[in-house]
């Protein structure tokens, strides 16, 4: 059974591109433990190549308060993730739970020591990976003590990093391979037949360039809305 340690997961849907430059998320473990797998909320646009994932040591830039911890050149563990195993997402809504990355070696991390998860893949605006992030207001979901979103336009080398302090990338780190989620269904019972007569007509769909579906909704309230779970929609 896998054990999850440090993590940052919310329902946020913002993201940032992993294109021809490098992206990283630093974190600070609260306990000594071993990392064997990562879960990253990453998806792809277009047809990029395989994705490089690393865990690195960090160095400290003490000018800020608190100090910033950036990736250095020491790679502690890594993985190459085949592009075919990463979900495709063409729009702004992020609906994938993440990819599971198996590290090439188990990594023993030390409490209160700073590490960086680093991603890289060359690409362009049409062929890239996107790493989901969250903006201010979500940070209560972070388990780790200190962490910073970092990026590098200069090959990801030592002293070539910059930091963005108001958002963090989504990740989970594990000892053991995490199991995928599953869904089961059961038939309903004790059904009592009821009928109702619907009223109202759709007079016009308006400008069809902006209308992509239409339908009706119903509920126990006097005036159900389109946000009701009881809806039937038709595509244009």
pLDDT at 204: 59
Contact present, 138 and 13 (Cβ < 8 Å): no
Within a 10 A sphere around the Cβ of 87, how many other Cβ atoms? 13
Within a 10 A sphere around the Cβ of 188, how many other Cβ atoms? 6
d(CA 72, CA 57): 6
pLDDT at 208: 32
Each residue's pLDDT tens digit, 197-228: 555 666 655 433 333 355 666 665 656 655 55
219 contact partners, CB below 8 Å, separation of at least 6 = 228, 229, 230
pLDDT at 64: 56
Cα–Cα nearest to 11, from 174, 137, 186 = 137
| pLDDT at 233 exceeding the cut of 80 | no
- The answer to whether the predicted template modeling score (pTM) of the entire model surpasses 0.75 is no
- Which tokens sit at 46? 């277009």
Better pLDDT: 219 or 158: 158
Better pLDDT: 109 or 95: 109
| pLDDT at 26 exceeding the cut of 50 | yes
Each residue's pLDDT tens digit, 62-103: 655 566 788 999 999 999 999 999 888 755 555 566 789 999
Secondary structure of the chain in HEC code, one letter for each residue: CCEEEEEECCCCCEEEEECCCEEEEEECCCCCEEEEEEEECEEEECCCCCEEEEEEEEEEECCCCCCEEEEEEEEEEEEEECHHHCCECCCCCCCCCCEEEEEEEEEEECCCCCEEEEEECCCECCEEEEEEEECCCCHHHCCCCCCCEEEECCCCCCCCCEEECCCEECEEEEECCCCCCCCCCCCCCCCCCCCCCCCCCCCCCCCCCCCCEEEEECCCCCCCCCCCCCEEEEEC
Domains within the chain, CATH numbers bracketed? 3-175 (2.60.120), 200-236 (no CATH)
């Amino acid at each position: 059974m896998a054990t999850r340690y440090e993590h940052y997961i919310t329902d946020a849907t913002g993201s940032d591109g992993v294109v021809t430059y490098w992206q990283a998320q630093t974190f600070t473990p609260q306990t000594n433990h071993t990392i064997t797998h990562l879960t990253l909320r990453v998806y792809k646009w277009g047809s990029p190549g395989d994705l490089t994932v690393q865990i690195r040591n960090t160095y400290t830039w003490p000018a800020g308060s608190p100090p910033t911890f950036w990736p250095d050149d020491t790679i502690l563990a890594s993985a190459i993730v085949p592009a075919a195993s990463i979900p495709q997402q063409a729009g702004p809504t992020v609906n994938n739970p993440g990819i599971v990355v198996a590290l090439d070696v188990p990594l023993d991390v030390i409490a209160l020591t700073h590490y960086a998860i680093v991603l890289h893949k060359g690409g362009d605006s049409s062929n890239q990976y996107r790493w989901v992030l969250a903006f201010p207001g979500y940070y209560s979901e972070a388990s780790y003590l200190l962490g910073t979103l970092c990026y590098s336009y200069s090959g990801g080398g030592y002293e070539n990093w910059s930091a963005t302090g108001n958002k963090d990338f989504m990740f989970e780190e594990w000892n053991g391979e995490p199991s995928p989620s599953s869904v089961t269904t059961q038939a309903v019972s004790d059904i009592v037949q009821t009928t109702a007569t619907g009223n109202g007509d759709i007079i016009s769909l308006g400008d069809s360039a902006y209308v992509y579906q239409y339908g009706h909704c119903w509920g126990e309230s006097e005036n159900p809305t389109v946000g009701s779970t009881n809806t039937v929609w038709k595509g244009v």
